[in-house]
C-alpha cells in the first residue's frame, strides 16, 4: 500500500484562498460582460420589433393590392378611435395576410408595466391619416380643399405606441422600410 507524502498531497488540492481568487476572477469577468450582454439583448428585442413592423407593412401592401390598390381602414386601438368600433384593428384586418397576435407584440413593450399591448391590444399604432390611400401615391390632407402629394418613404404607416427603444419608437413607413427614430 502506497502512502502519499504530505508534500505530494498538497500539489493535488486547492487551498481556500486559491478557490476564492478564482471565484473573484469569474465574478469580475461576469461583471465586465454583463453590460455588453444587456446591450445585445436590447438590440435583439429592437430587431424583433422592427421585423414585426416590417411584417405589418408587407401585410398592409398585400391588403391594398386586394382592395383596389387602397390601404384598408384599420382602427387603432387607443382612443380616440378614428372609425366606428365595428372597424377591426390590425389583427382583424391583416390577419388573412399573416398578422397574428404575436406580430403586434413588441418584446420591449411586453416588458413594460403596464404595456401598450395590455392597455390597447397592440404594441403598435396604425396611422389613421394614411388609410384609404394608394400605396404608390400617398397624399397629406392639409385642409378639406388642400391635398399635398408626398413620397411614401416619408409617410408613417405604423409605429410603437410608446418611445421604448432607448427613448425612441420604431416606425414603419409607406415604402415598407422600418426605422429607429
Cα separation, 180 vs 47, whole angstroms: 10
Neighbours of 159 (CB within 10 A): 22
Strands (E), 86-141: 124-126, 139-141
Question: Under a CB-based contact definition with an 8 Å cutoff, are residues 98 and 55 in contact?
Answer: yes
Cell 488540492, residue located? 13
Cα separation, 110 vs 123, whole angstroms: 8
Domain residue spans of the chain: 15-180
Residue range 127-147, pLDDT digits in tens:
755 556 666 666 666 666 777
Instruction: Provide the percentage of residues in the chain whose pLDDT is more than 90.
Output: 21
Burial environment of residue 60 by CB neighbours within 10 A (0 to 12, 13 to 18, 19 or more): buried
Whether pLDDT at 22 is above 80: yes
The CA-atom distances, in angstroms, between 32 and each of 22, 45, 99, 176 are 15, 21, 40, 39
The three-state (H, E, C) secondary structure of 26-54, written as one string: HHHHHHHHHHHHHHHHHHHHHHHHHHHHH
What average pLDDT does the segment 97-114 reach?
Answer: 90
Whether pLDDT at 76 is above 80: no
pTM: 0.74
Amino acid at each position: 500500500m502506497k502512502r502519499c507524502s504530505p508534500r505530494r498531497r498538497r500539489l493535488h488540492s486547492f487551498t481556500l484562498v486559491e478557490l476564492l481568487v478564482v471565484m473573484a476572477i469569474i465574478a469580475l469577468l461576469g461583471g465586465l460582460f454583463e453590460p455588453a450582454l444587456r446591450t445585445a439583448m436590447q438590440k435583439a428585442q429592437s430587431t424583433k420589433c422592427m421585423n414585426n413592423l416590417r411584417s405589418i407593412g408587407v401585410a398592409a401592401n398585400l391588403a391594398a393590392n386586394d382592395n383596389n390598390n387602397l390601404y384598408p381602414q384599420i382602427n387603432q386601438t387607443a382612443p380616440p378611435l378614428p372609425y366606428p368600433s365595428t372597424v377591426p384593428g390590425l389583427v382583424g384586418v391583416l390577419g388573412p395576410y399573416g398578422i397574428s397576435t404575436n406580430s403586434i407584440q413588441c418584446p420591449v413593450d411586453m416588458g413594460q408595466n403596464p404595456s401598450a399591448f395590455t392597455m390597447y391590444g397592440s404594441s403598435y399604432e396604425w396611422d389613421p391619416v394614411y388609410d384609404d390611400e394608394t400605396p404608390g401615391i400617398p397624399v397629406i390632407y392639409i385642409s378639406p380643399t388642400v391635398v399635398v402629394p408626398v413620397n411614401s418613404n416619408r409617410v408613417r404607416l405604423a409605429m410603437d405606441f410608446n418611445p421604448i427603444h432607448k427613448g425612441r419608437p420604431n416606425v414603419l413607413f409607406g415604402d415598407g422600410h422600418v426605422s429607429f427614430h
